[in-house]
Structure 1
Amino acid sequence: MDLKKIKYIASKTLRKNLDDLTALASGGYPGFVYRKLTLPGADQIPVFTFHRLEPVSFEAQLKHLAQNHYKTLSGDEFLSCLTGVKRLPPKAVLLTFDDCWGSLWAVAHPLLKKYGLQGVAFAISDAMEQGDGVGATLEDVWAGTRSMDEILGREVKAPLCNWAEIKRMSRAGTLEFQSHSRMHHSVYIDSEVVDFVNPDRYPSFMFSDFNPLINLGANEVAEWDLDARCYGEPIYPFRASFAARRRFIPNHQVSAACRAYVTERGGKHFFQSADWRKELMRVYTNIAEQESEKGTIVSYHQRLEELVQDLTMSKRIIEQNLENKVDQICLPWYQGDAIAVEAAKLADYRACHWGILNNTTVNTVGDDPFYVRRMNDEYLFALPGEGRQSLLQILAKKYLNIVKKRTGMY
């Protein structure tokens, strides 16, 4: 590998993990992350966040919890302990799982059941398909009826869990399901075009924070309902929906005309031209000049109503499918603003889960439940007990794995 590529990988990795490294450097992690302790901090509740699960590493994490007698809390137990309603048990932790990736069913569910542990999963309510059945799990591998390759390839075939799988996990008690919003989307916040949807910049919450709602005729839809028809859609400055106090809604006629221009010229093939951006910008400018306005700005109060509706509908959809009460929201991409907390309270939620907040990941009994801090799952190995790993070991393993994945060494 050449030096230029190594520098690029290092730079991208640093940007992605800057909040984490800043919090570590400022002492924002619990004491057990930095030094060997007998127990986690008094009155502290470590909250770990997972996304996609890999069988070997996830089982090692659960073994560390089980062998050292940690108690995994339910969502309700966590809130009761955080607010002081119930006494915090020794060695209590909360495991949270964002997005409901397919590996939640295939990997997490059977392993949580195996070790007698539990967690809280945050579902994107409008992204979950009903499903005719359930996919294979590690239990099928253990029984010799399915291959490990099928488990490892689950998210290629079906990235997210379906409702049939979610219902089974909920009934089994391994996972409690709360809200991750309806569509995990971003919104435009200004009217100046910065780019156009193209094969190299496609909306998807799975790979970036660019996932706007795009109006293809009837209603605004999110990325899992989109296809090549959205090529040529103008892109404006955007922000995670729950972090945006205002919203710009583009003129539908302008957007439709730009998409039609690309479709008429071969769709994906249009972007093979070196000057396609200049050409499309000229088209956009000409069309926009013919229209009375580029779009409309949604005010703070309208945005608040939108967010309350989002949270209310997400709650309703999950509760209609499952038997548990939904009163906690995990903010998409960990991004939010005071408007998100206000909306959550108006929608009768009791907690908001974030990532790192104010350079800290520590949750202490008595803290505000609308500002729950969470740390990445690799720090679970720093929990006190037999087999604990030092911070140096954790970071070395983490960044070595990142380099291997991005350089194709796996």
Structure 2
Amino acid sequence: MIAPIMRHAGEVSREMRYLLTGSYPAFVTDRNPAWTGDEVPVFVYHSVEPKEFAGEMEYLARNGYSTITVGELLSFLEWGIRPAQRPVMLTFDDGYASVWTEGGPILKKHGFVGVAFIVPDWIGRPGYLSWDEVRAMQESRMFDVQSHGLSHRIMQGAGEPDLKGIRYELVESKRVIEEQLPGHRVQDYCFPRAEGSEEAVLIARETGFRTAFWGVMNGRAVNRKGDSPYHIARLKHDFLVRLPGKNRKSMASVMWGKSIRRLKGQPYA
């Protein structure tokens, strides 16, 4: 009981710090923002609540947004090539079963795609995906299955045991997923809890990963041309409905929704 309360308190504290320091983009904080076209927001989900998720996907579709792949994001970061008029990326952490059972049909309805960062050691646990479901996700082409580490280890520490552990997490997560998904290439990594180190980034590069996804980092919550593919910033999905568009939600409404989910004990609300 204490751990979830402490985790949520920490998340509230971080969000307040981001607001006060101007880390969030204009579309989150401004009353009437315009779409600039020079940035790509990446949104993070964990589990999927169907009614809420359906509403958010309807919002994207109704307002002309398109979801993009990691490859398309990389082209934007390196060359400034916009793959769509209003590109956004959807990512799903941890491998909750609801991402596929509840989220899959909704993505299919709109022709949207997302990246599923899974934890191999958690596959098959209650509430999480099975390997059969992971294979179905990848085969659907709606989801690109990538690595969230082998066991969700926090990728920090500069001592030799820490660096060996970090390398093991990366190499083994890649090996297990590729073994379970023959012909599929694992080359994108997401840091658990958005916590990592430059040593971990270097090891990710050395072990064949082309990207690393985080959270809000160094005062940056969106991605622009020239940003490093190993420092991809992400926002929580709540802020998706703050993107410019018809029926855009107020900040008060967004924060109230967060509070309700936290009271219900939803992960990383």
TM-score, normalising length: structure 1 = 0.60
Match of 2:143 among 175, 179, 189: 175
Paired amino acid for 1:333: R
Determine the structure 1 residue equivalent to 2:190.
330
Count residues with an aligned counterpart: 260
Deviations 1:233-277 (A, max 9, x none): xxxxxxx2x11223xxxxxxxxxxxxxxxxxxxxxxxxxxxxxxx
Q: 1:348: Cα distance to partner?
A: 1.4
Q: 1:401: Cα distance to partner?
A: 4.0
Q: 2: distance between equivalents of 1:10 and 1:303?
A: 28
Determine the structure 1 residue equivalent to 2:118.
123
* RMSD, matched Cα: 2.1
Structure 2 residue runs without a partner (length 5+): none
Q: 2: distance between equivalents of 1:171 and 1:50?
A: 21
Paired amino acid for 1:37: P
Structure 1 residue runs without a partner (length 5+): 1-8, 130-156, 186-239, 247-298
Match of 1:245 among 151, 154, 158: 158
Residues 334 and 326 (structure 1), Cα distance of their counterparts in 2 relative to 1, 3 Å cut: same
Q: 1: distance between equivalents of 2:190 and 2:7?
A: 25
Q: Which moved more, 1:321-330 or 1:340-349?
A: 321-330
Paired amino acid for 1:24: L
Determine the structure 1 residue equivalent to 2:33.
37
Q: 1: distance between equivalents of 2:118 and 2:260?
A: 30
Q: 1:395: Cα distance to partner?
A: 1.4
Three-state SS of the structure 2 residue aligned to 1:83 is helix
TM-score, normalising length: structure 2 = 0.89
Match of 1:72 among 67, 72, 84: 67
Match of 1:161 among 109, 113, 129: 129
Determine the structure 2 residue equivalent to 1:152.
none
Q: 1: distance between equivalents of 2:208 and 2:152?
A: 19
Identity within the alignment, %: 32
Q: 1: distance between equivalents of 2:173 and 2:112?
A: 26
Determine the structure 2 residue equivalent to 1:345.
205
Q: 2: distance between equivalents of 1:340 and 1:97?
A: 21
Three-state SS of the structure 2 residue aligned to 1:371 is coil
Paired amino acid for 2:206: L
**Contact 1:38–1:385 (Cα < 8 Å) also in 2:** no
| Pairing 1:141-160 to 2, within 5 Å after superposition | 158-160=126-128
Q: 1: distance between equivalents of 2:118 and 2:185?
A: 13
Residues 333 and 173 (structure 1), Cα distance of their counterparts in 2 relative to 1, 3 Å cut: same
Three-state SS of the structure 1 residue aligned to 2:168 is helix
Determine the structure 2 residue equivalent to 1:391.
251
Q: 1:119: Cα distance to partner?
A: 0.3
Q: 1:324: Cα distance to partner?
A: 3.1
Deviations 1:280-313 (A, max 9, x none): xxxxxxxxxxxxxxxxxxx2xx533432232122
> Highest Rg: 1 or 2?
1
Determine the structure 2 residue equivalent to 1:105.
100
Q: 1:53: Cα distance to partner?
A: 0.8
**Contact 1:352–1:369 (Cα < 8 Å) also in 2:** yes
